């Protein structure tokens, strides 16, 4: 069966190369019993691919069932998949067969496999490797012959690195991966899909099919469509029902597009973006703090070098004075602007003074430093907590009630902290 026949049979619209490649892979793997992992964003049609694989496989006359792992509560998913015995848990008034037992000989489609609990993942791995499973509350091993097709909109490899998904199960499921492209990756199909949806909805609601002018078509092509084909279909239905004009302009189309996602459309930017990948503001603050710490450390090293090598002091002073004079550009004459301070070296290499240009005042800086040692500030939360408690007690002259109120904790908690940190009355 050629690809066009498959598209017609399963109502798939599009001719983009990435879509054709995914369909071609599904057709090739359908005749085997290999486990398939379908990867793609929400709304791209992953379940349709599972139906194609089952319909073209030798199991096509046997049962097919689709299970959304994210929609089943964690406490009952084992019972749903593998069944349970009577009295195995509260509410189990009768024995029940699970999907792996009822669909034996057919195909089971496990959607959102990334949401499956870790305990259930271990049971699934045993089914994939040995074809064996055990009902909840039973000790009897049973056999099943089920082909598993899994799907996810997450990156399971990242989940394995974070310990949220079993690595052995990932590689067992990922025997044949099929990546279904997002609508952003097949822009040439957007107008075809929109026209098909509009015609279908016009027949359903007995209205005239809506058309787009050229500007509206360009906006539709550049819209990000985070909901993919599902979002495009909903948009076509809204327009078919609510639009009063047979031909939609760009301004009319924008009224149907979500403002939040519409603002994320590609635009020409004149500002430089932030360098690096920051997922939130906290990471940006962390980077700023680390950069500041690095600058302070460099200044400390430079200062120590000047102290240890007095000959470098005069060069540093001359460089600083030149920088101050070059950076100072007064607009008016007179005393409206202060004259920059000049750093003057002295005969004692350990001492220098700053002379102000306006009032000839001098400030001596005595840098009698014999030893320099960098001391890292303690970041221990307990040390900081103890320090704050001591400060609060000193501030309120040992009155624990006032100190606890200032700290934002109960007086009872303060008593416990005093005992924990061995703090005596202050």
Model confidence pTM above 0.75: no
3-class SS shares of the chain: helix, strand, coil, % to 5: 50, 10, 40
- CB-based burial label for 368 (10 Å; 0-12, 13-18, 19+): exposed
Fold classification of 3-181 (topology level): Rossmann fold (3.40.50)
Helices 381-395 and 411-420 cross at an angle (nearest 10°) of 120
Q: What per-residue confidence (pLDDT) applies to 404? A: 82
Cα 89 to Cα 68, 78, 94, distances in angstroms: 23, 12, 10
pLDDT per residue, tens digit, the chain (426 aa), is 689 999 999 999 999 999 999 999 999 999 999 999 999 999 999 999 999 999 999 999 999 999 999 999 988 999 999 999 998 888 888 999 999 999 999 999 999 999 999 999 999 999 999 999 999 999 999 999 999 999 999 999 999 999 999 999 999 999 999 999 999 999 999 999 999 999 999 999 998 899 999 999 999 999 999 999 999 999 999 999 998 888 999 999 999 998 765 555 544 444 344 444 444 455 556 556 666 766 777 777 777 666 666 665 555 555 555 544 454 444 444 444 444 444 455 545 444 444 444 444 444 444 444 444 444 555 567 777 888 888 888 888 888 888 888 888 888 888 888 877 788 766
Question: Does domain 184-262 match CATH 1.10.8.60?
Answer: yes
List the structure tokens of 342: 């000049």
Q: What per-residue confidence (pLDDT) applies to 165? A: 95
- The full set of domain ranges for the chain reads 3-181, 184-262, 281-327+338-366, 381-420
Fold classification of 381-420 (topology level): Arc Repressor Mutant, subunit A (1.10.10)
User: How far apart are the C-alpha atoms of 171 and 92, rounded to whole Å?
Assistant: 34
Q: How many CB atoms lie within 10 A of CB 234?
A: 14
């Amino acid at each position: 069966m050629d690809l066009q026949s498959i598209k017609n049979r399963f109502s798939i619209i599009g001719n983009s190369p990435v879509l054709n490649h995914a369909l071609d892979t599904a057709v090739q793997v359908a005749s085997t019993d290999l486990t398939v992992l379908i990867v793609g964003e929400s709304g791209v049609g992953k379940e349709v691919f599972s139906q194609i694989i089952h319909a073209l496989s030798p199991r096509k006359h046997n049962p097919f069932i689709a299970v959304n792992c994210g929609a089943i509560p964690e406490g009952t998913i084992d019972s749903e998949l593998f069944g349970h015995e009577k009295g195995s848990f509260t509410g189990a008034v009768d024995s029940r067969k699970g999907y792996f037992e009822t669909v034996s000989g057919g195909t089971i489609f496990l959607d959102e496999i990334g949401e499956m609990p870790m305990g259930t993942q271990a049971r699934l791995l045993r089914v994939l490797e040995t074809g064996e499973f055990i009902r909840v509350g039973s000790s009897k091993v049973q056999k099943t012959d089920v082909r598993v097709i899994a799907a996810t909109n997450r990156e399971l490899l990242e989940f394995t690195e974070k310990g949220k998904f079993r690595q052995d199960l990932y590689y067992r499921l990922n025997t044949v991966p099929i990546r279904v492209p997002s609508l952003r990756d097949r822009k040439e199909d957007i107008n075809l899909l929109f026209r098909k949806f509009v015609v279908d909805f016009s027949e359903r609601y007995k209205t005239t099919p809506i058309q787009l002018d050229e500007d509206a078509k360009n906006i539709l092509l550049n819209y990000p469509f985070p909901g993919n084909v599902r979002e495009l279909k909903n948009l076509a239905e809204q327009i078919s029902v609510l639009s009063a004009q047979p031909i939609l302009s760009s301004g009319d189309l924008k009224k149907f597009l979500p403002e939040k996602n519409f603002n994320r459309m590609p635009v020409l930017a004149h500002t430089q973006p932030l360098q690096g990948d920051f997922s939130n503001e906290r990471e940006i603050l962390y980077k700023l703090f680390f950069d500041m710490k690095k600058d302070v450390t460099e200044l400390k090293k430079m200062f120590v070098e000047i102290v240890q090598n007095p000959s470098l002091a005069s060069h540093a002073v001359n460089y600083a004075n030149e920088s101050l004079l070059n950076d100072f550009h007064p607009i008016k004459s007179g005393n409206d602007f202060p004259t920059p301070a000049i750093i003057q070296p002295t005969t004692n290499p350990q001492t220098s003074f700053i002379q102000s240009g306006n009032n000839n005042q001098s400030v001596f800086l005595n840098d009698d430093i014999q030893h320099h040692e960098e001391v890292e500030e303690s970041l221990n939360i307990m040390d900081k907590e103890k320090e704050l408690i001591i400060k609060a007690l000193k501030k309120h002259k040992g009155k624990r009630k006032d100190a606890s109120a200032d700290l934002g904790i109960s007086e009872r908690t303060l008593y416990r902290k005093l005992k924990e940190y061995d703090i005596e009355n202050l």
